[in-house]
Amino acid sequence: MNWKDISVLITGATGSFGKRCVRTLINHYGPKRVIVFSRDELKQHEMHTSGFQSDSLRYYIADVRDVDRLRTAMVGVDVVIHAAALKQVPACEYNPIEAVQTNVNGAKNVIEAALDCGVKRIVALSTDKAVSPINLYGATKLVAEKLLIQANSYSGAGAVRFSCVRYGNVVGSRGSVIPLFLEQSKTGRISITDPRMTRFWITLDQGVKFVLDSVERMHGGEVFVPKIPSTSVMDLARAIGPECQVDEIGIRSGEKLHECLMSEDESRAALDMGAFYVIQPMHKWWVAENWSGGRQVPSGFRYSSDTNALWLTPDQVLALVEPRIWAAV
């Protein structure tokens, strides 16, 4: 895949992932065109004035809720990375229709525009919270996954292909627990919901690399799941504020003790590809190349943050958060 001949559109491109993806593409891949598609003019202005400037960069003020604007933006586009979403769990619970409008209807609009414009490859970002969801955010992302995967049936034997990438918490992203712990540590007290809680972790750079690799390797209809480490929330709190008092406040509504990136039922259709899993479509009504070279995941396998084979050591936890500590000083 020759990125130098490719035009890329990123929805939600002013978010944590989007900005890092834009910078990575411009600095290391050199695509013909990168379109920043987002609804916030201030964030676009801040991106531009903070150094996000290139002859290949275009800024589109738009919303994924507007399918006509999506169609206009996707003219001549080869790859779409769909990262736009409302992702704060409490905000989605309090504003459920808004969450559906962006996360579900927005995904539908991306599909329709991509089909109409003949975009070759579309990869959507998902989350571990889409697996057996217990909150509205996770439920909307599960629906978005299903829409994207089955959208391949609308393309049929055509060239337009849709896939998803599903991973866990992103270190330092807006709304994640690490910035919260950093702020709390200044007071000498850190609050955690439950000391037993575990989470998957991935850095922004790792997430961007995995998404771009998935764009290159996708056949259409897969959900890509990286093998990433787990850690307990207590270990994170101790790494960020070793001298802080830790207050247990109780698990919040809509939270799980442990997150899951692949359920037992999904594992029946999953292959272990070494550094990642690929969950193949259970219903395939389109022509797509079958995956080869992987190993069938064992029956009943569940990829959960508490039973994960990969765990961060205390030193690795510290290395994970230390750059954020210095950035906050």
What size, in residues, is the chain? 329
Decide if pLDDT at 8 tops 90: yes
Enclosing domain of residue 220: 3-168+201-227+262-302
pLDDT of residue 189: 92
Residue 279: which residues within 8 A CB-CB, separation 6 or more? 222, 223, 224, 225, 262, 266, 269, 270
Question: Number of helices and strands (H, E) in the chain?
Answer: 13, 17
Decide if pLDDT at 79 tops 70: yes
pLDDT digits (tens, 9 = 90+) for 163-180: 999 998 888 666 678 878
Q: Which amino acid is at 156?
A: G
Catalytic residues: 129
Decide if pLDDT at 152 tops 60: yes
- In the chain, pLDDT over 70 holds for what percent of residues? 96
Average pLDDT, rounded, for the chain: 92
How do strand 57-61 and strand 33-38 relate by DSSP bridges?
parallel
pLDDT digits (tens, 9 = 90+) for 185-210: 889 999 998 999 999 999 999 999 99
**What pLDDT band is residue 325 in, cutting at 50, 70 and 90?**
very low
Query: Is residue 185 in some structural domain?
Result: no
The better pLDDT of the pair 323, 120 is held by: 120
Query: Is residue 119 in some structural domain?
Result: yes
- Mean pLDDT, to the nearest integer, of 280-300? 87
pTM: 0.93
Q: What DSSP string runs through 91-149?
A: HHHHSHHHHIIIIIIHHHHHHHHHHHHT-SEEEEEEEGGGSS--SHHHHHHHHHHHHHH
Distance CA 22, CA 32 (A): 13
Query: Which of 45, 27, 117 lies closest to 79, judged by CA?
Result: 117
pLDDT digits (tens, 9 = 90+) for 33-51: 999 999 999 999 999 999 8
Query: Is residue 206 in some structural domain?
Result: yes
pLDDT digits (tens, 9 = 90+) for 112-121: 999 999 999 9
**What pLDDT band is residue 329 in, cutting at 50, 70 and 90?**
very low
pLDDT digits (tens, 9 = 90+) for 233-265: 898 888 888 889 999 998 888 889 999 999 999
Distance CA 11, CA 63 (A): 8
Query: Is residue 178 in some structural domain?
Result: no
Burial letters 289-319, b for 16+ CB under 10 A, else e: eeeeeeeebeeebbbbbbebeeebeeeebbe
Query: Is residue 157 in some structural domain?
Result: yes
Lowest mean pLDDT among 60-64, 96-100, 119-123, 247-251: 247-251
Query: Is residue 74 in some structural domain?
Result: yes
pLDDT of residue 326: 39
Query: Is residue 189 in some structural domain?
Result: no
Query: Is residue 194 in some structural domain?
Result: no
- Domain count across the chain: 1
φ, ψ for residue 25, nearest 5 deg:
-60, -50
CATH number reported for the structural domain that contains residue 61 in this entry: 3.40.50.720
* Beta carbons of 158 and 119 less than 8 angstroms apart: no
Query: Which of 90, 128, 170, 93 lies closest to 257, judged by CA?
Result: 128
pLDDT of residue 289: 76
Half-sphere exposure of 232 (CA within 13 A, CB side): 12
pLDDT of residue 320: 72
pLDDT of residue 322: 61
